[in-house]
């Protein structure tokens, strides 16, 4: 697996990572045995960058990674996140009245809880999952920097913040990575944030790089409507929007076929070619999809192929989150 650097002067990680959320949360029933096989297979394939968060399954995902890969800790670079809380306590985003806590006190509490669930001494990359705008970002990042000084965290990141917040945070302590939704179907980062990351030398960790499964070409209305699949509440996956978007996926499939690639592989190859700063972390709990995704690292696009893939995906219908979730992004 080829490598990319996580921020200016930062460590090298696999250029395609693994998002672990779906192993515990948001995409139907769990399958811990298959998830464990997927985690081990990822390391065997050279995927060294794993992404989790405390709220994925209300702590389940961190525990899964810890017990599955504890004996291989020196083989991977682990990112986790904090911020989502329910009023009754605990890290989760699916409870009523969920709120974002980025207070300095909670930064320290959440980190210790993540380390305990993981069973690790150190977190390689620690993100603020979202930002509470009522808490100065300087206070949040200052507390996160204290974790670095204490040896509990190696590098800092932010997720779904705007350019102004990113600059203010970076002035307090170097930010190694910005995690943001980025794919052929979600390109808002290109308005300003991508240039800001280039200027500051901050890696762009692209989550949902195959459009929450849309760009795999396998998504159906019945699939996203099943219990436990959060996409049923996302406008992009509803009614006429889904019908229109699936037609775009077929257009991407036709271009991908000329590369002897799947639509997901074409989408990932497009992201990798977009900028050296970008590190996609496609999520899956299945070995077969992991192997499909990682094979995209071997695809080199010509400028003409890059443009063809991009053109095929133009005109996505529907917002990438529900109105309730959009309030948490671009803060």
pLDDT in tens, 178-188: 999 999 999 99
DSSP state, 80?
E
Residue 215 is predicted with a pLDDT of 94
Contact 255, 308 (CB under 8 A): yes
pLDDT recorded at residue 78: 98
Distance, CA of 22 to CA of 30 (rounded, Å): 8
Which segments of the chain have a pLDDT < 70?
A: 89, 92-96, 227
Q: How far apart are CA 35 and CA 24, in angstroms?
A: 9
Local structure of 51: helix, strand or coil: strand
Position 323 scores a pLDDT of 81
pLDDT at 83: 96
State whether residue 12 is helix, strand or coil.
Answer: strand
Is 207 assigned a catalytic role?
no
Which of 56, 126, 127, 321 is labelled catalytic? 56
Q: At what angle do helices 60-69 and 32-44 cross, to 10 degrees?
A: 50
Q: What CATH number labels 3-216+271-298?
A: 3.20.20.100
Query: Rounded to whole angstroms, how far apart are CA atoms 131 and 207?
Result: 17
Interval 98-132: pLDDT, tens: 899 999 999 999 999 999 999 999 999 999 999 99
DSSP code string of 257-283: HTTT--HHHHHHHHHHHH-TTEEE--B
Buried b (16+ CB within 10 A) or exposed e, 13-24: bbbbbbbbbbbb
Using N-to-C axis directions, what is the helix angle for 163-172 and 193-200, rounded to 10°? 20
Which of 281, 280, 266, 279 is closest to 311 using CA atoms?
266
Contacts of 107 (CB under 8 A, 6+ apart): 82, 128, 140, 143, 144, 146, 147
Torsions phi, psi for 128 (to 5 deg):
-80, 115
State residue 71's pLDDT score. 98
Q: Would you kindly state where each structural domain of the chain is located, as residue ranges? A: 3-216+271-298
């Amino acid at each position: 697996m080829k490598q990319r650097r996580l921020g200016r002067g930062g460590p090298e990680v696999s250029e395609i990572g693994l998002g672990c959320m779906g192993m515990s949360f948001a995409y139907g029933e769990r399958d811990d045995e298959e998830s464990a096989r997927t985690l081990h297979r990822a390391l065997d394939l050279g995927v060294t960058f794993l992404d989790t968060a405390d709220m994925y399954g209300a702590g389940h995902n961190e525990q899964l990674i810890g017990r599955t890969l504890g004996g291989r800790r020196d083989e991977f670079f682990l990112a986790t996140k904090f911020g989502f809380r329910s009023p009754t306590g605990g890290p989760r985003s699916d409870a009523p009245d969920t709120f974002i806590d980025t207070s300095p006190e909670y930064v320290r509490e959440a980190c210790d809880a993540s380390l305990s669930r993981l069973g690790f001494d150190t977190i390689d990359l620690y993100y603020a999952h979202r930002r509470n705008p009522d808490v100065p970002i300087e206070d949040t990042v200052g507390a996160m920097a204290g974790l670095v000084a204490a040896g509990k965290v190696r590098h800092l990141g932010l997720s779904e913040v705007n350019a102004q917040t990113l600059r203010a945070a970076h002035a307090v302590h170097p930010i190694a990575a910005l995690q943001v939704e980025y794919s052929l179907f979600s390109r808002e980062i290109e308005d300003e944030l991508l240039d800001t990351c280039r200027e500051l030398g901050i890696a762009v960790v692209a989550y949902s790089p195959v459009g929450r499964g849309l760009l795999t070409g396998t998504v159906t209305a019945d699939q996203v409507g099943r219990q436990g699949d959060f996409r049923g509440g996302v406008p992009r996956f509803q009614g006429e929007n889904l019908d229109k978007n699936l037609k775009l996926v077929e257009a991407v499939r036709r271009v991908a076929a000329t590369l002897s690639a799947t639509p997901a592989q074409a989408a990932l190859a497009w992201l990798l070619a977009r900028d050296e700063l970008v590190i996609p972390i496609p999520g899956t709990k299945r070995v077969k999809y992991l192997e499909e995704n990682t094979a995209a690292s071997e695809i080199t696009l010509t400028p003409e192929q890059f443009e063809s893939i991009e053109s095929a995906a133009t005109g996505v219908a529907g917002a990438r989150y529900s109105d309730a979730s959009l309030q948490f992004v671009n803060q």
